[in-house]
Every structure is written in C-alpha cells, then in structure tokens.
C-alpha cells in the first residue's frame, strides 16, 4: 500500500512557504487572475527549447515582469538561440545549460521561482521532481508522467515538498472550452449526462521527419504503445466541465484500438515501399476509442486518432438534461431557449453573455499567441500562481489523472477491453475538494 502524506492544501502551502522564509502570501488568487496582482517579477527557467519551448519562451517574454534567468537544452544552438531571444527582449543573457541532466543544476539555481519543461515526454516527471525538490514551482507540457510510478512520484513529491506543479494544458483555455465551462456552471446544460472528446490530429509529420527518420514521438508514441498516447488535450476540458477531482472522479475506463496501418501507408507514399519506416511494426492503433464512467454517472467517449489523414477535430461535445454543445460544429441547442425546436444555433449567439471572464479581460492580447490564444492564457495562469504563491489551477492530481489514461488504455486494449479502475490520486480528498471558481479556472 502507498504511504500517505499529510494532505496538500492551500493553508499548509502558505504556512510552510512562509515558515521557510521563502514567500509571504500576497494578493489572493482571484485577484491575481483578474489582473490586479502585485507585479513582483517571476523568474522562470526553461528546459527543452525546441519547437514548443521556444514558442512558450516568446509568450513568457511578452509578459510584464517575467524574467528568464536560465535556459537548458542538449542542443547548444538551441540554448544560444534562446539566450539571444531573451536578450532581444531587453533582459540579461540567461545562464545556459547543455548537459542531458543539467536540468537538475538549473533547478537548484537560487535566482529562480519556477521551472518550465517542454522536453520529450520521458523527461517531464524527472524535471518536475527536480524542480519541486529544489523549492521551485513546476510547469510541464503534456503528458505530465508516464505510468503509475511516475504519476505517484509527481503527486507525492508535490505533497512532500508543498510545491505546486501545473500541467500547462493549454486546450482547457480555448475560448469555446472556457465558455462552455462558464455555461455549465450557470446551469445552462442542466445535469450533465455525456461528453465526447478526442485528440483527432494528424501528427504523422512530427513522427517521421521529412527525410525519413523516426523522431522522438515515434519512440514515445507509436512504437511501444497501443493505447491513447496523448489524452490530455481532449480529456482536460471535459474533466473541468465535470468537476473531476473536485466532487466527482473518473471511476474506470474501457478501451479498444483499431489496426495500425496509417503510418506505414504514409511512409510508403512518401519514401517508397522499401523504406525501413514503411515496413516497421508500429504498435499504435490508428484509432483508439475509450469509454470512461465518472462517479456521478456521466459517460465520456474519448478518441485518439493521430495517424490518419484528417483535419483537426477535438469534438468537445457536452450533453445535459437541458441542452447540448458541439465543438465540431461550434453550435448549441438549449431546450426552451433556442428559438427553434431540434435546431442548432450558432454558439457565438451566446458570446456576449457567457464569454469566460479571462477571455473577456485578456482576449485581445491572448489572440496574438498560438493555439487560438490558449497558450497565452495558460502560461499567464502559471505565472500568476507563482507570483501569488498560490495553488495552480491544474495541479498534480489533475496532471496525474489525465496523463495516466495512456497506461490504462493500453492495459485495457491488451486485455480485450477489460475495465481498468482509475487510481484515486487525491486519496479520497476529491469528495471534499470544491470546484475552483470561474476566474481561477
């Protein structure tokens, strides 16, 4: 049995942090999110400055009072490029690290408040654990962890060190996703019964390079896993709509995968049928389909489809006793409110009234950043948590619960879709934890 630590909560966190002379509790979190926080500089070290890392570095540098004292990547040119970016933003040249385990040295720096990682997946938990153990906030790209051991390590390290670690799941900050959350809280959909969601995104081009080499995603995503290898963009929004780990929880899932043809077909078409990548045995199923049951009886269909030629579609459908929203269509139907029975309405009809407060306040700035503006809002939430020394809106319990779906779906697929129980990373505290207020999430 797992040893249980004292619970991690906001009061403990502030007490411990203050006692350690690290921080004093400043403005409340709600105040921070509404933009009135004290502008104390927030100092963040970046680990992994490839495509995503440099994109998020630009987002960080666009924010007031965010400083980047250190950067780390195993590729020297990427470190130098990041240093130039920081200097071009008017900040001193950050210290650069290039060793494969130098993230540990970075985490130990005294002039840092937080560490953000955008490395390949296998490094997310090690970097976050090093950060928290050094008294830093952690911020990670997804998935946060790989397998049960890492998931528990993430949770237990946060509990022991009292340091928060945020999964920077930017898709929970999409405008339509946040607007639906707002409407759920206003009771517009009634009692929820079902959601449908999916990471349906053709990612073959980042799996095999344009010159025919397998990239890290091939090793971490398609060669060794038959389940849902990238669940958090899809499940994150639904988990927030359904109050997972805050009054509700995922109970179990069942999962099934189709055969694996897409990547071989892609490789044969691009590089010829005799190319090694056209003959490989990929474990990933082209389409993985899972069903999740929540404690309060909501069902969720979750897709993972990243090896097929297709336009992006994350579905984001929510159904309740009073109505339905479809992200695919960006349309809504609310019984007794929509003007015509059984007829969709444009979601934008409801924008004035139900646009999320974060979007109302920061939408104009956010829209300049990637992923429909969600990159800015997500990173901003991370920065404000650090600035206010408060909890993070997507904490280790969420990070572990959303990320563990990869391991669970594989277990289910390999066992004729057997039902797999979700671990309760909160150890029962989900029952008392209250949903975060709109404005905080």
Number of residues lying near ligand NAD (CB under 6 A): 24
143-162 residues near ligand NAD, rule: CB under 6 A: none
> Rounded to the nearest 5°, which phi and psi values hold at 382?
-60, -50
53 binds ligand NAD (CB under 6 A): yes
- Residue 352 structure tokens: 């004035």
121 binds ligand NAD (CB under 6 A): yes
Q: HSE (CB half, 13 Å, CA atoms) of 201?
A: 14
Interface residue with ligand NAD among 185, 194, 331, 371 (CB under 6 A) is 371
398 binds ligand NAD (CB under 6 A): no
50 binds ligand NAD (CB under 6 A): yes
CB of 54 vs ligand NAD, minimal distance in Å: 8
Piece of 9-17, 41-49, 195-203, 344-352 that binds ligand NAD (CB under 6 A): 41-49
- Residue 313 structure tokens: 């579609």
Strand ordering across the sheet containing 165-167: 95-97, 66-72, 42-47, 114-117, 137-140, 165-167
100 binds ligand NAD (CB under 6 A): yes
- Residues found in the chain: 441
Query: Which residues contact residue 205 at a Cβ distance below 8 angstroms, ignoring those fewer than 6 apart?
Result: none
Closest CB to ligand NAD: residue number = 50
Residue keyed to tokens 């911020």: 139
| Max CA distance (Å), the chain | 64
CB of 63 vs ligand NAD, minimal distance in Å: 17
CB of 205 vs ligand NAD, minimal distance in Å: 11
120 binds ligand NAD (CB under 6 A): yes
CB of 169 vs ligand NAD, minimal distance in Å: 7
Decide if 430 contacts 245 (C-beta within 8 A).
yes
Decide if 51 contacts 59 (C-beta within 8 A).
no
43 binds ligand NAD (CB under 6 A): no
Q: What is the contact surface with ligand NAD in residues (CB under 6 A)?
A: 47-53, 72-75, 78, 100, 103, 118-121, 123, 141-142, 170, 216, 371
């Amino acid at each position: 049995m797992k040893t249980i630590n004292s619970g991690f909560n906001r009061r403990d966190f502030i007490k411990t942090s203050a006692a350690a002379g690290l921080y004093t509790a400043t403005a409340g979190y709600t105040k921070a999110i509404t933009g009135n926080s004290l502008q104390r500089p927030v100092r963040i070290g970046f680990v992994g400055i490839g495509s995503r890392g440099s994109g998020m570095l630009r987002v960080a540098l666009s924010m007031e009072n965010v400083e980047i004292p250190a950067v780390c990547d195993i590729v020297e040119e990427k470190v130098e490029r990041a240093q130039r970016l920081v200097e071009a933003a008017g900040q001193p040249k950050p210290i650069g690290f290039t060793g494969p385990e130098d993230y540990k040295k970075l985490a130990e720096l005294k002039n840092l408040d937080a560490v953000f990682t955008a490395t390949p997946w296998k490094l997310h938990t090690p970097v976050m654990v090093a950060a928290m153990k050094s008294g830093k906030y952690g911020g990670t790209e997804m998935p946060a962890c790989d397998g049960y051991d890492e998931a528990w390590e993430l949770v237990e390290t946060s509990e022991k060190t009292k340091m928060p670690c945020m999964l920077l799941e930017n898709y929970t900050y999409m405008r339509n996703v946040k607007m639906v959350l707002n409407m759920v809280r206003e009771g517009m959909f009634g009692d929820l019964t079902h959601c449908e969601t999916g990471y349906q995104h053709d990612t073959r081009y980042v799996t095999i390079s344009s010159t025919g080499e397998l990239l890290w995603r091939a090793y971490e995503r398609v060669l060794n896993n038959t389940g849902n290898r990238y669940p958090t963009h899809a499940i994150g929004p639904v988990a927030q709509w359904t109050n997972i780990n805050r009054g509700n929880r995922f109970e179990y899932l069942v999962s099934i995968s189709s055969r694996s043809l897409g990547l071989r077909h892609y490789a044969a078409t691009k590089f010829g049928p005799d190319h090694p990548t056209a003959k490989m045995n990929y474990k990933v199923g082209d389409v993985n389909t899972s069903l999740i049951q929540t404690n309060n009886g909501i069902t969720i269909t979750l897709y993972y489809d990243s090896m097929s030629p297709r336009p992006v579609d994350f579905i984001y459908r929510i159904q309740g006793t009073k109505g339905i929203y479809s992200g695919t269509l960006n349309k809504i139907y609310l019984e007794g409110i929509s003007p015509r029975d059984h007829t969709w309405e444009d979601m934008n009809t409801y924008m004035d009234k139900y646009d999320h407060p974060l979007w109302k306040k920061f939408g104009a700035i956010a829209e300049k950043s990637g992923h429909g503006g969600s990159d800015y809002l997500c990173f901003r939430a991370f920065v404000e948590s650090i600035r206010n020394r408060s909890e993070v809106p997507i904490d280790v319990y969420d990070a572990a619960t959303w990320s563990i779906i990869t391991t669970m779906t594989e277990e289910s697929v390999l066992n004729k879709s057997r039902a797999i129980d979700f671990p309760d990373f909160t150890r029962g505290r989900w029952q008392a934890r209250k949903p975060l207020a709109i404005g905080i999430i």
